[in-house]
Amino acid sequence: MKESWRWYGPLDRIELSEIAQTGAGGIVTALHEIPYGEVWTREAIAARKAAVIEAGFEWTVVESLPIHERIKRSDGDLSELFANYRQSMANLAAEGMTTICYNFMPLLDWTRTDLAAPVARGGTCLRFSATKMAALELFMVEREEAVNDYPDCVVHEAKRWFDTSSEADRAELMHAVMAGLPGAYDRYDVEGLKTALKLYEDIGQLELRGHLKRFLDEVIPAAEDLGMRFCIHPDDPPRDILGLPRIVSDADDIGWILEAHDSPANGLTLCAGSLGANPANDVPAIARRFADRIHFAHLRNVKKDADGSFEEAAHLAGDTDMVDLVAALLEEEGRRREAGRPDREIPFRPDHGHELLGDGERGTHPGYPLIGRMRGLAELRGVIAGLTYKRVA
């Protein structure tokens, strides 16, 4: 497996020289500073690639080539947006990039309610509180129908939290929910979020699936011609929130997407944490079922609560059997080597991580600290070494 590390380019507080000390050999990055819908020029791509190579790395995966919200809504004439997207793909391919990770989550990326929840023995983690999310939906955004999306006990606790919260508490919650959007993304206050949600009022799961199918129809043939692989990232959290449909939350969703274009160019980013937050998901089983279409892996773990809340756990300490999951990916790599596939080595990165020791003082992107992710990478490296160890007589 190919050890990689997510780097936000000029927006990142972590330098490539520091990442080199983690032992990772690959960089996962994107041109986050370019607004959605605009073409990534070959010159800009080449400059980013040169910086990565000069620091001693390989640019392993593009994460992400973002999709404009109008495409997700299938809003109006999209010909220019699709043409720009395909041109960016061509420019990436011309610079040797072959793997593009993307997501199709409406409006928001990964969503948390707490960016610094305390962890036993010190440090902090990202957390999704069902109570706080329900408070946001019911009493801040005032989406009355959200009462049907949460258990009665959560609704009761949400009302209590809202009634006792301060304006600063509510502002902090809104900041946390928006924090999953890196780079040149729109961020909203409560009134702005209400307005943005209205654009999705008539879009349910079936409609959003249709819009994803249209996107795949536009880009997968181009990816095949360019020798590129697309890999969709699962929803995070893997459930509808704010009335927005989520369509990449379980094995059935993934199966539908991969069958929509039965092509190696249409693949999966296996995100253990996103899928692991759904109690119905057996993540190692999902990895084995779709192994031949996994082009990239995010390895992290979560610990779930009965009310639908969850938080980031240490990489080997959450609800997902990480050793079994890594074994599934290594099994697939073995099959690819035997088949002579050029993509025999699956790139992965330690995803998210606890803020440990001095991490909290650096102001890095939430979920992407240096020391916490380095701990995760070291643990995963040990698992891989143990599973691939061969005693020499």
Q: Of 233, 261, 295, 354, which is the active-site residue?
A: 233
Asked if residues 342 and 299 have their Cβ atoms less than 8 Å apart, the reply is no
Which of 197, 227, 252 is at the close of a domain? 197
Same-domain pairing of 218 and 310? yes
Here the CATH number for the domain that contains residue 275 is 3.20.20.150
Which of 177, 197, 217 is at the close of a domain? 197
pTM: 0.95
Write out the residue range of the structural domain in which residue 146 sits: 114-197
Give 353-377 pLDDT, tens digit per residue: 999 999 999 999 999 999 999 999 9
Q: Of 36, 102, 200, 368, which is the active-site residue?
A: 368
- pLDDT over 60 at 102, yes or no: yes
Same-domain pairing of 67 and 182? no
State the total domains in the chain: 2
Cis bond upstream, residue 342 (ω within 30): no
- pLDDT over 70 at 185, yes or no: no
Give 246-268 pLDDT, tens digit per residue: 999 999 999 999 999 999 999 99
Of the pLDDT bands very low, low, confident and very high (cuts 50, 70, 90), residue 180 is confident
DSSP states of 243-285: TB----SSHHHHHHHHHHT-STTEEEEEEHHHHHTSTT--HHH
Same-domain pairing of 364 and 302? yes
pLDDT, residue 184, reads: 46
Q: What gap in Å lies between CA 142 and CA 363, rounded to an integer?
A: 32
Same-domain pairing of 193 and 210? no
User: What 8-state DSSP symbol labels residue 241?
Assistant: B
DSSP states of 328-393: HHHHHHHHHHHHT-TT-SPEEEE-S--B-TTGGGS-PPTT--HHHHHHHHHHHHHHHHHHH-----
Classify residue 144: in a domain, yes or no. Answer: yes
Rg (CA), the chain: 20
Phi, psi at 371, each rounded to 5°: -70, -40
Give 125-172 pLDDT, tens digit per residue: 999 999 999 999 999 999 999 999 999 999 999 999 999 999 999 999
Same-domain pairing of 265 and 351? yes
Q: Is 368 a catalytic residue?
A: yes
Which of 176, 197, 218 is at the close of a domain? 197
Residue bearing the bigger pLDDT, 40 or 64: 40
pLDDT, residue 183, reads: 53
Classify residue 286: in a domain, yes or no. Answer: yes
Q: Is 351 a catalytic residue?
A: yes
Strand residues in 56-198 grouped as ranges (E): 58-63, 99-102, 114-118, 124-128
Classify residue 393: in a domain, yes or no. Answer: no
Q: Of 250, 352, 354, 359, which is the active-site residue?
A: 352
205-226 helix and 251-260 helix, angle to the nearest 10 degrees? 50
Q: What percent of the chain has pLDDT over 70?
A: 98
Same-domain pairing of 181 and 208? no
Same-domain pairing of 121 and 99? no
Q: Which residues contact 13 (CB under 8 A, 6 or more apart)?
A: 362, 363, 364, 365
Classify residue 334: in a domain, yes or no. Answer: yes
Same-domain pairing of 107 and 120? no
Strand partners of residue 88: none
Same-domain pairing of 235 and 376? yes
Same-domain pairing of 91 and 175? no
Residue 190, helix vs strand vs coil: helix
> What is the average pLDDT across 33-40?
94
pLDDT, residue 390, reads: 78
